[in-house]
Structure 1
Amino acid sequence: MKYLKLLVVSLLSLHLGAQNITGKVTSNKEALPYVNIYLKGENQGAVSKENGAFKITNIKPGTYTIIASFTGYQTQKKTITMGAKDLVINLDLPESELLDEVIITGTLKAVSRLESPVPVEVYSPAFFKKNPTPNIFEALQNVNGVRPQLNCNVCNTGDIHINGLEGPYTLVLIDGMPIVSGLSTVYGLSGIPNSLIEQVEVVKGPASSLYGSEAVGGLINIITKLPENAPLFFADNYVSGWGEANFDLGFKSRIGKKVDVLVGANYYKYSNAIDNNNDNFTDVTLQDRISVFQKWNFKRKDNRLLSIAGRYFYEDRWGGEMQWNKTFRGGDDVYGESIYTSRYELIGNYQLPITEKINFQFSYSNHDQNSVYGNIPYLAQQRIGFGQLIWDKPLKNHDLLFGLATRYNFYNDNTTATVNPDEITIPSVFIQDEIKLSEKNHLLLGARYDYDDRHGSIFTPRIAYRFKPTENDIIRLNAGTGFRVVNLFTEEHAALTGSRDVIIEGELSPEQSYNVNLNYLKKFYTKGGQIFTFDASAWYTYFTNAIIPDYDTNPNQIIYGNLDGNSETKGLSVNIDAIIDTGLKASIGATFQDVSQTENNIKTRQILTERFTGVWSLSYKNFPTNLTIDYTGNIYGPMRLPTLGVRDPRSEYSPTWSIQNVQLTYTTKANLEFYGGVKNLLNWTPNQGNPFIIARSDDPFDKNVQFNTNGDVIATTNNPYALTFDPSYVYAPNQERRLFFGLRYTLN
């Protein structure tokens, strides 16, 4: 009896000791329903009601960390003592609409986007989930002013255009390091696991004063997650009606007390040969690709930084005649383009153990490519090493940045253009000063000096001015120069296919550009609670020594040489983002541009450049059912295309065309997402309105083509248009309408 009384008293005391946590979740002072609230490390939690209120019952005595999470919003954490009442948790605005994200790309240091004198566009994983893709190359199709361009109908290689400029003018970084360049701009943009991406930063316009060659038209910085901020485990897998299968997996782990490691892997498989346009060639290249990524963060004294990351990438892709298999590789019986790519990359960032903030950043990539284009082999190796010391020195009203950099390039292939391996080391020095003239006025001055043994000294200055008249208005004016040292055989896929003869006129000098960009950003709130962000830019870029492939002089040749004249690109872009209502978000963007070249006083429109583009997205989440619908799309104006002379029956200009997608996502309370939808709703393909896309697809080795003594094609009975085999007439993907289904899981 004594023990029974003791048990009753103990249970009663536990019951009386247990209390509740009550509160309300808000966003922008408005109640936010259906938010997940839980206690870290405990199996207790709640979901906020329509009025934002929540209640967690039977809490034992103690101190807890309460976490409030909601898809698209910044997760909030608070430390509380049991029995907290009337707790108010405010969730920040959705991640994709925030203007105060921390960015690093514009000035090589972490600053608020609002404070940066350089306009930088930021895209979060939530943006890319609206239209899931197997790689970052395709994911950029809904970024205003950015267009993934396919360069070959057979092997489906591509590059990224910014504001109408060709892919080699775009520098792609991973964690700030320039390792996606040269050969990898053609074949290495795939295989970066989307699940590992923290955010993507886009700068439009020259950035050579900080990043050197290739950053002429703009740059894209793919920033991966920090291991300590990543979920414990995550997976994102989907399949499509065309037989595509994409798998993203990752996890993080802590080794000891001072080491965090993040591991991610991507596998993509497409082995379903389809020929819906009936030209006996694969509509989409078949691919078998694997990529493994690992990132290590080390905790050091005084929170100094030490981070090392690596990636291995292997891909086997081929496209060609439907009856092709690997026994035909390199022969002239059945045409196929087969590429084996093997590359590894290493990235590191080390803060020196001294009082001053000095970081040593480094990267190394090794790219090995074994490829054949029909019966023409292209075997190439490229190694790129990069290292730089950056000294960040803030002073009163000045924020100084000093840098010393060295870039090592090694390139060798089996073509006659590379008799000896191309090996060069380019040292650089740069300086930047952001001057605080007043709270509203900031001025940035920067300059870079590079020395290239082949071309001598290269100097690239820039100036940026930021005026912030109110908290919700920012005006930015940027001007600067850019340069690019050209290696055709690592950047121009058309120079490799063998479908046209490559002619190089004289010694190619570095391209130079002069650019000015005016940007205005405004954020405003309506009385109805809507939030709008307006972002507009106007730009003008003038090129000297431009190297633009000439497809027109001789339809059987691609002629490369420095332009005896100039090239210009000018335009205007506008983006509007809106939070219209709880659960309803929209964005729309448009770019209008004119890209031309002038030689011998004759002005012509640049090939494969559209006059206007548009992108949009509309997302609505129904909180009671946890269903989200996303509608995304883009539209492109006509482009001038590379035809094969006056007899070519294919249209000289593409039509206005659009790719639109819809997706439905169901989210469970266990962080499990089921999603599916339709890609290419309008079923648009480039063969519509054209008699064919690939010229002479029935004679890919030109065995039945006749030439005259001048090398010109003669029109014959079986070749009435006087054509040769050419797969470079391409501007849009060949994939038709298709369904897709996927599953995501996150364990925090």
Structure 2
Amino acid sequence: MKLYISRIILGLFLLCSPFVLAQHLSKNQFKVKGNCNLCKERIETTAKKAGAKTANYSVDSQILTVETDDNVSPNEILKEVAKAGHDNEKFQADEASYQALPACCHYERNSTQTSEEHHMHAKAENEFYVKGNCESCKARIEKAAKDAGADSAEWNAEKQTVALNFNSQKTSADAILKKIAEVGHDNEKYKANDSTYKNLPSCCLYDREIPFGETNPKVHTEETAEAAHNHNAGTSHEKNIEGVTVTASKASTSLNKKEAGLIFNIDKKELLKAACCNLSESFETNATVDVSFSNAVTGTKQLKMLGLDQKYTSLTKELLPEIRGLASAYGLNFIPGRWIESIQLTKGGSTVTNGYESITGQINTELLKNSEKPETSLNLFADFNGRTEANITSISKIDDKWSQTFLLHGNGTFGDTDMNDDGFLDRPKGTQLNAAYLLNYNDLEKSGFGSHFGINFIKDERTAGQVGFDKKIPQDKQSLYGVGIDISRFQVWNKTGYVFKGKPYQSLGWMNQYTFHQQDSFFGLRNYSGKQHTYYSNLIFESILGNTNHKYKAGASFMYDGYDENYLTQNFKRNEIVPGAFAEYTLTGLKYTLVAGARIDFHNLAGTQFTPRLNFKYDITPQTILRLSAGRGFRTANIFAESQQYFASNRTVQILENGGNIYGLRPEIAWNYGASLQQEFKLFGRKSSIIADFFRTDFQDQVMVDLDRSPQQLTFYNLEGKSFANSFQTQWDLMPFKNFELRFAYKYYDVQADYLNGRRAVPFMAKHRGFVNAAYSTNKNDKGGFWSFDTTLNIVGKQRLPDTSSNPSQFQLAAYSPSYSVLNAQISRNFNQKIRAYLGGENLTSYSQSNAIVDFKNPFGNYFDGGMVYAPIMKANFYVGLDVTF
């Protein structure tokens, strides 16, 4: 009987022991830097050797999850992980350990470590991060530590750490840090009460923008499942350890070293360097994109990349088609600068998952939707020539899963600006009302679902032409030349993604968008109007083949465009229906990354189109990266919408049909090839980089816009012969001393085409361009205030101008334009984290084109032409602005 009872007791003990043991295991999460599956294996193995019962590392989220018993210190695990070469939230790997890692494991070291200014180094066992600012802070922190039972305490202002010596039988690090927070000092475990912090002496008010931590701190990671198609959606992970969340000051513009393609990430901090009232002005401090006026009457701006017009670059918003079709001419004005969270700029062939229209690259804009706390911002802007703008942005959390963003923009131009005294407005007058609402759902951790919904409405009305023109009076009832442009635009979209449970590498995403665009306009006595209905859908599945070194995406897309255009008395109506399918494979090796993709689209008017694209990256060394790319793209030309800059003239439109189904023309098809070399090095003890790239675009077919056949004609026809664009750019980024950034760039373009009159250089494209950008900011004061100074110099070489030799001599232009320079500058003052004021000037060299409008005295005559623009129209202009965050 006793034996029977003992067996029962033993069985119950064995049955319950796992649960008893489990109660003594604690689950912790750490931020650890890694780059690939080799990193994952190394980190997990090291953690287990250091005493972790279980260890699981996610390369995507950069989070190491471990289970430990009471006998194992989390610090010891992190210390061993750092010795293995991996920076983490408490310890930084030494340079030798990092360099000993394979090339594929060389992660970006400045993305989780603080910048040089914060002096964050590895800590000793009983050394803890504590925020402070001066000698008074030191005395207060050390006294609080001793009051909590510490035998001794020494706070280091430079490292922002306190070294403690205490008897663990009498007190604990947790109790000491809690006491330090109670006297007003944030630390890696506890956050001080706001009222306590505010009651500190002014000299003690440290910068709280970069928090060390709080009770149950959250480590914020970027959701990488592309199926969610929300590259800015954040997820959070709870941890209950003595951890530290350290945020680096990222470069305002950076090149993504991990991507096979040449992709630049432009942060909203970069957009604050200039006026940046809309997307067309967001690239004034960027060397890759050329911004120029396209018309002397309507004052619109256009982008050019790799030596080709904006229409050959895919312009997306939230990875959905945006500025295309009827929006081509004025669409850049429809994305306010203050709405932008980030921009991703891809040079050359982009991924096939985003469509077939990209030829020279892709520019994707992400709208504001991420904030750790509710935030409402007001921006007011005015220039000295009658332009005013106001922006209100509000981001708030509804609950743990839902968040929302309200975006409101209004602008008006009310002054008559005519700096060159030609009787024409240098820029149109009018107003724009732009409103958007974004709703985000994020439950990726639990259910695996994430979703983003958006709606946007725009009403834009512009009047241009001769000073004194009254839009309310019918065109034929007044003698002045006028231009009227009224645009209404509505969009609604949704992106939903699902990440499979237990398979963070496998996801499914679906994007849908509907766009309605209507334009009613007149240019003198010429009328142009158009309506466009667009529906776009894209379904993407992403997974791996065996392991994460072999990834693939596959999916299907659908595009519908309905166009109804009227030019003069002619009506042009068509429906484009394009179902398509695509697949993309990514191979990641020790030193290389290969992305190969292809798509097939069944266009009802352009026929079946096959689009292959290839991107290859090879890490010669961790600091030397070679990239190669090749790909095909095709698009259908919207000849009227894309050539509106020439409507403000007396050119007659002629279409030489060539058997195509769109305006009688064939679609445009081009191949793009590119190579780039990126070299990083240390200069003045700081990171510096040089990038050189060369791209060539060869058109298999192209819709030619011929301005040379006759100054009184605008002729469209398909290419017969060759058309190509060679683009070379080199860029050098450096920091000579703290807080001072310099960027130098040189660009060379050779863009030629076979016109009906022979091979010519494409007009309005300078062969040589230079670029210099300098940015300096002062250190923050005790209230978080600082000054910023930014200046940008653009040097533009001579450009070929359209042939006007058949005009009377007084209306002829030179064969080439003169070279010129444009200087922009801005000074801004951040008074604290909530108020910022800025003053700036554009075109401070005051260079302007003297003959922007040909025969401006006779706008209804045969020789009037407002489309011959190669330089700024307006002289120096100054502006002021104010940003307030609530």
For normalisation by structure 2, the TM-score amounts to 0.71
Change (3 A) 1:80 1:179: same
Do the aligned residues in 2 keep the contact of 1:74 with 1:93 (CA within 8 Å)? no
Query: Which one of 205, 210, 213 corresponds to residue 78 of structure 1?
Result: 213
Trace 1:534-553 onto structure 2 (pairs within 5 A): 534-553=690-709
Structure 1: stretches of 5+ with no match in the other structure: 1-24, 100-112, 703-722
**Greater shift after overlay, 175-184 or 59-68?**
59-68
Change (3 A) 1:644 1:253: same
Q: Structure 2 counterpart of 1:491, which letter?
A: E
Trace 1:112-191 onto structure 2 (pairs within 5 A): 113-191=256-334
Question: Is 1:307 paired with 2:452?
Answer: yes
Change (3 A) 1:231 1:72: farther
Q: Structure 1 counterpart of 2:391, which letter?
A: D
Counterpart Cα distance in 2 of 1:471 and 1:283: 50
Change (3 A) 1:213 1:555: farther
**Greater shift after overlay, 532-541 or 347-356?**
347-356
Partner of 2:790: 630
Counterpart Cα distance in 2 of 1:398 and 1:316: 51
Do the aligned residues in 2 keep the contact of 1:72 with 1:94 (CA within 8 Å)? no
Q: CA deviation at 1:217?
A: 2.0
Do the aligned residues in 2 keep the contact of 1:546 with 1:566 (CA within 8 Å)? no
Partner of 1:64: 190
Counterpart Cα distance in 2 of 1:457 and 1:97: 39
Partner of 1:15: none
**Residue-by-residue CA offset, 1:616-643 (whole Å, 9 max, x unaligned):** 2211122257222111222211111235
Q: CA deviation at 1:380?
A: 1.1
Q: Which has the larger radius of gyration?
A: 2
Trace 1:148-547 onto structure 2 (pairs within 5 A): 148-207=291-350, 209-228=352-371, 232-300=375-443, 301-331=446-476, 333-352=479-498, 357-395=507-545, 396=547, 397-415=549-567, 419=571, 421-436=573-588, 438-494=589-645, 496-497=647-648, 499-506=650-657, 507-526=664-683, 528-547=684-703
Counterpart Cα distance in 2 of 1:521 and 1:217: 20
Q: CA deviation at 1:139?
A: 2.0
Partner of 1:621: 777
Change (3 A) 1:158 1:741: closer
Change (3 A) 1:654 1:547: same
Counterpart Cα distance in 1 of 2:381 and 2:208: 25
Q: What SS does structure 2 have at the residue aligned with 1:200?
A: strand
Length, aligned pairs only? 677
Do the aligned residues in 1 keep the contact of 2:678 with 2:689 (CA within 8 Å)? yes
Question: Is 1:735 paired with 2:874?
Answer: yes
Change (3 A) 1:230 1:219: farther
Counterpart Cα distance in 1 of 2:413 and 2:159: 46
**Residue-by-residue CA offset, 1:637-676 (whole Å, 9 max, x unaligned):** 1111235334333333222122212221111234211211
Change (3 A) 1:398 1:53: closer
Q: Structure 1 counterpart of 2:670, which letter?
A: S
Q: What SS does structure 2 have at the residue aligned with 1:190?
A: helix
Q: CA deviation at 1:677?
A: 2.6
Do the aligned residues in 2 keep the contact of 1:464 with 1:476 (CA within 8 Å)? yes
Structure 2: stretches of 5+ with no match in the other structure: 1-111, 121-128, 142-154, 163-176, 198-204, 218-241, 658-663
**Residue-by-residue CA offset, 1:86-122 (whole Å, 9 max, x unaligned):** 99885525332555xxxxxxxxxxxxx2221111112
Do the aligned residues in 1 keep the contact of 2:274 with 2:284 (CA within 8 Å)? no
Do the aligned residues in 1 keep the contact of 2:401 with 2:441 (CA within 8 Å)? yes
Q: CA deviation at 1:54?
A: 8.2
Counterpart Cα distance in 2 of 1:327 and 1:28: 58
Q: Structure 1 counterpart of 2:312, which letter?
A: Y
Counterpart Cα distance in 2 of 1:582 and 1:333: 60
Change (3 A) 1:525 1:415: same
Q: CA deviation at 1:471?
A: 2.2
Trace 1:714-729 onto structure 2 (pairs within 5 A): 724-729=863-868
Q: CA deviation at 1:141?
A: 2.8
Question: Is 1:693 paired with 2:843?
Answer: no
**Residue-by-residue CA offset, 1:353-393 (whole Å, 9 max, x unaligned):** 86651111111211111111112222211111100100011
**Greater shift after overlay, 289-298 or 404-413?**
289-298
Counterpart Cα distance in 1 of 2:846 and 2:572: 48
Partner of 1:4: none
Counterpart Cα distance in 2 of 1:394 and 1:727: 55
Change (3 A) 1:334 1:400: same
Do the aligned residues in 2 keep the contact of 1:664 with 1:675 (CA within 8 Å)? yes
Counterpart Cα distance in 1 of 2:210 and 2:118: 16
Counterpart Cα distance in 2 of 1:557 and 1:378: 17
Question: Is 1:644 paired with 2:787?
Answer: no
Q: CA deviation at 1:161?
A: 1.0
Structure with greater helix share of residues:
2
Q: CA deviation at 1:407?
A: 0.3
Question: Is 1:569 paired with 2:695?
Answer: no
Change (3 A) 1:149 1:628: closer
Q: What SS does structure 1 have at the residue aligned with 2:722?
A: strand
Do the aligned residues in 2 keep the contact of 1:349 with 1:360 (CA within 8 Å)? yes
Counterpart Cα distance in 1 of 2:637 and 2:551: 34
**Greater shift after overlay, 192-201 or 203-212?**
203-212
Counterpart Cα distance in 1 of 2:802 and 2:757: 22
Counterpart Cα distance in 2 of 1:157 and 1:241: 19
Q: What SS does structure 1 have at the residue aligned with 2:299?
A: coil
Counterpart Cα distance in 2 of 1:296 and 1:227: 11
Do the aligned residues in 1 keep the contact of 2:514 with 2:535 (CA within 8 Å)? yes
Q: What SS does structure 1 have at the residue aligned with 2:214?
A: strand
Q: Structure 2 counterpart of 1:604, which letter?
A: R
Do the aligned residues in 1 keep the contact of 2:694 with 2:728 (CA within 8 Å)? yes
Q: Structure 2 counterpart of 1:330, which letter?
A: Q
- What is the RMSD computed on CA atoms of the aligned residues? 3.5
Change (3 A) 1:49 1:326: farther
Question: Is 1:583 paired with 2:709?
Answer: no
Q: Structure 1 counterpart of 2:768, which letter?
A: F
Q: Structure 1 counterpart of 2:489, which letter?
A: R
Q: What SS does structure 2 have at the residue aligned with 1:168?
A: helix
Change (3 A) 1:649 1:629: same
Change (3 A) 1:601 1:737: closer
Counterpart Cα distance in 2 of 1:171 and 1:226: 23
Percentage identity across aligned positions? 22
Partner of 1:9: none
Q: CA deviation at 1:176?
A: 0.4
Q: Structure 2 counterpart of 1:425, which letter?
A: I
Structure with greater strand share of residues:
1
Question: Is 1:746 paired with 2:885?
Answer: yes
Q: Structure 1 counterpart of 2:883, which letter?
A: R
Counterpart Cα distance in 2 of 1:230 and 1:643: 58
Counterpart Cα distance in 2 of 1:321 and 1:96: 41
**Residue-by-residue CA offset, 1:460-496 (whole Å, 9 max, x unaligned):** 1112211113222211110111112112122221464
Q: What SS does structure 2 have at the residue aligned with 1:421?
A: strand
Q: Structure 2 counterpart of 1:725, which letter?
A: F
Do the aligned residues in 2 keep the contact of 1:202 with 1:221 (CA within 8 Å)? yes
